Structure 1
Amino acid sequence: MFAGHFGLAAAVKAKTPEVPLWALMLGTQLLDVAFVPLFIAGIETIEPVEGGGYGAHLIHADYTHSLLCALLVTIIAGLLAAKRWGKKGGLVFGSIVFSHWLLDLVVHRADLPLLPGNAGNFPVLGLGMWKYPYMTIAMEAVLITAGIIMYKRSVAFSADNTVRGKPLRLAAIAAMSVFLAAALAADVLGIG
């Protein structure tokens, strides 16, 4: 689902020029970034399942992807971003961080706990769109298309409007388009 997360960041950039694109991209993946050290330490795990491609792994991210931890990371990230990019920037950054959990809720099989470590043994959440690869591809394609269109508009309004600036705008738009298409291809092929 990397492409969908990144597509959303590109779309949000169009409406939030004060927050750099790199920060929005990082924000959409912040829960996964936090997952990596816990995965390396063996606290959170990934278990292969039948099928391949989308949802080829059962992710046991019982801390980083619990609803409570996602909310805590969202609040902390939003407050830190507000110090750097103002109140609006902080609110947008926090929202983009939490969007990761919301998009994961839609696509993941039931593997998202409410509380860290699945304390209380509550039912885990996940709507399981990964079971329907074509629907998932379509959703990600919509997100990246919207991201490219909105990013194109933001670049057009913010870039140098001289003859010299046009190649830079086109290069930025082309680079973002290639990046998002490659991310979608990686998701579809199960190599992301």
Structure 2
Amino acid sequence: MFLGHFAVALAAKRAVPATSLGTLVLAAQLADLAWPALLLAGVETVRIQVGATTVTPLLFDHYPWSHSLATLVLAGLVLGGCHFLWRRRPRDAFVLALLVPSHWLLDWVVHVPDLPWTPAPGSPLAGLGLWNSMPASLAIELGLLALGALMYLRISRARDRIGNWSMAVLLAFLVLVYAGNVLGPPPPGIGALAAVGLAQWLLVAWAAWADAHRRVRGSAL
């Protein structure tokens, strides 16, 4: 899952309009933002095998810290707690705490059974395997992004010209990245895969910047 995580962040803006979209993307994508660093450190492992599934050539052998449900629930509580101490907005903190483990739930739909429930050795693995169907995977990813973007755009409006085009370009870029991942060649190596994964932090900054040039409808701010 890639576009779906951005979709839930966009949709969540409706529930917590005072929270930056960048923060919402950070929460929804926290697992994938942490994973490349753990991969480079040798803490977690992945293999590139063409034909592993119809959609992705990646075999996720070991990623219990970035992608187990238990660690993501804990990470969500930590992120939500920190946000509450900083902003003193219980609703926003609660939504952030939910967004972090939402990553596991969305991945569960598309991954083959490789998602651990806990980081403990021998933890059961979960996954419905939608990645074995290209049409179904495309439908759910693009459908979720369209729905999330519609919800975001319906409750916000541009402050200036940047607000008009920055979000549109971001959404188009996300679709292009997804198309490249699905239709392009496999990564040349694990190092290149991790480097691209780390570059996702730029998408967090992009989302925050684009959102700063928009305002919630009906708000004077």
TM-score by length of 1: 0.84
How many residues get paired? 183
1:188 shift after superposition: 2.3
Aligned to 1:149: 150
Shift of 1:138: 0.4
C-alpha offsets along residues 52-78 of structure 1, whole Å, 9 cap, x if unaligned?
762311112122211211111111111
Q: Give the 3 Å change call, closer, same or farther, for CA 183–147 of structure 1 in structure 2.
A: farther
Long gaps (5+) in structure 2 = 188-195, 197-221
Letter paired with 1:101: W
**1:68 is paired with a residue of what secondary structure?**
helix
Query: What TM-score does the superposition give when structure 2 sets the normalisation length?
Result: 0.74
> Identity across aligned pairs (percent)?
35
Native 8 Å contact 1:3 1:187 kept in 2: no
- In 2, distance between residues paired with 1:128 and 1:53? 10
Is the helix fraction higher in 1 or 2? 1
Contact 1:3-1:183 at 8 Å conserved across structures: no
Consecutive aligned runs of 4 or more in structure 1 exceeding 6 Å deviation: none
| Alignment correspondent of 1:182 | 176
TM-fit CA distance, 1:179: 3.0
Contact kept in structure 1, 2:54 and 2:132, CA below 8 Å: no
**Kept after mapping to 2: 8 A contact 1:105/1:126:** yes
Q: Counterpart of 1:66 in structure 2: which amino acid?
A: S
Per-residue displacement from partner, 1:106-160 (whole Å, max 9, x unpaired)? 11111111221x42x233111111111211110011111012211211222xx44
Q: Secondary structure at the match of 1:54?
A: coil
Q: Which residue of 1 aligns with 2:213?
A: none
Q: Which has the higher strand share?
A: 2
C-alpha distance in structure 2 between counterparts of 1:132 and 1:169, whole Å: 36
Structure 1 unaligned spans of 5+: none
